[in-house]
Amino acid sequence: MAGRAMQAGVSTLIPTLTDGMVVLRPLTQDDVPDITQGCQDEVIARWTTVPQPYLAEHAQAFVTEHGPGPNWWQTPTWAITVGGGRWCGTIDLRMDGQGGAEVGFMVAPGSRNRGLATRSLRLTCRWGFAAQDLQVIRWWARVGNDASRSVARNVGFHVHDEILRRALVHRGERVDAWYGDMLPVDAADTPRRPTWQQQDLTAREREVLNHLATGRTNREIAIELGITENTVKNHVRSILEKLPARSRIEAVVIGVQQGLTHLPN
């Protein structure tokens, strides 16, 4: 799978997860203004440990650390979007390297109560269990974070009734916590069809994508690569299916976001 390939250092493909409405895509520097704006929210400040005050440089550093790169697989992190558009939130899995992970998520105030966190958490857990062989995903929240608790419950976390006293540290202060865990068996409604991209582009498809990024036509690519125009068409079709993308331009945009290609200088 794409995840394992990357861990072995042979692929740069970061999975984009989707259920048809929510698209979890890698963070990009273009998200910095939206993240900066979103993290001004007092609810986020109350329940998470984002820096206070939250400045654009914090968002820049966050995207640099958690966007596509060699460290991505230690803490897989996605921008929560609708249809692959602007940043509406963030979700991550903090891997413990021993078959477990802790989940963290936030949604910008203007995007709340539309099911985005629930859908995103469901996608992330399914991917964690199926693509990363996780045995357990843990959820923690400060006592009182009812919205987060609802999201965890709705996704199938076993949310325990007990309060774990002083179990979390929040801005230098030990606070009481709620705790939940999810096992693969709890995600029993996992659909047969995977909702993440498993298939890496072949070397030839990467080559064709590089040519698409230069704006070449199928005919020009065919001449350049010494293959027929029809073969180029087949490669383009396969690229669009795998990314997935609806057009050549979108394929280039996704390819750039995922580090599969780059735009000419």
Binding site for ligand COA (CB under 6 A): 43-44, 47-48, 105-107, 112-118, 141, 145-148, 150-151, 154
Q: Pick the closer one to ligand COA by CB: 146 or 241.
A: 146
Amino acid at 255: G
Quote the distance between the C-alpha of residue 254 and its chain's center: 13
Least distance to ligand COA, CB of residue 48, Å: 5
Least distance to ligand COA, CB of residue 220, Å: 45
79 CB burial (10 A radius; 0-12, 13-18, 19+):
buried
Q: What are phi and psi of 94, to 5 degrees?
A: -90, 105
3-class secondary-structure state, position 173: strand
Contacts of 18 (CB under 8 A, 6+ apart): 24, 84, 123, 195, 196
Q: Pick the closer one to ligand COA by CB: 123 or 141.
A: 141
Least distance to ligand COA, CB of residue 107, Å: 4
Cα(228)–Cα(234) distance, integer angstroms: 10
Least distance to ligand COA, CB of residue 124, Å: 12
Q: Pick the closer one to ligand COA by CB: 62 or 213.
A: 62
Least distance to ligand COA, CB of residue 242, Å: 29
Cα(80)–Cα(182) distance, integer angstroms: 21
Q: Pick the closer one to ligand COA by CB: 27 or 221.
A: 27
Least distance to ligand COA, CB of residue 5, Å: 31
Q: Pick the closer one to ligand COA by CB: 122 or 235.
A: 122
Q: What are phi and psi of 195, to 5 degrees?
A: -105, 15
Least distance to ligand COA, CB of residue 71, Å: 22
Token pair recorded at residue 101: 């992970």
Q: Pick the closer one to ligand COA by CB: 74 or 111.
A: 111
CB atoms within 10 A of CB 248: 18
DSSP 8-state symbol, 244: T
Give the E-state strand segments of 33-172 in sequence order: 77-82, 89-95, 100-107, 136-142, 158-159, 164-170
Q: Pick the closer one to ligand COA by CB: 47 or 73.
A: 47
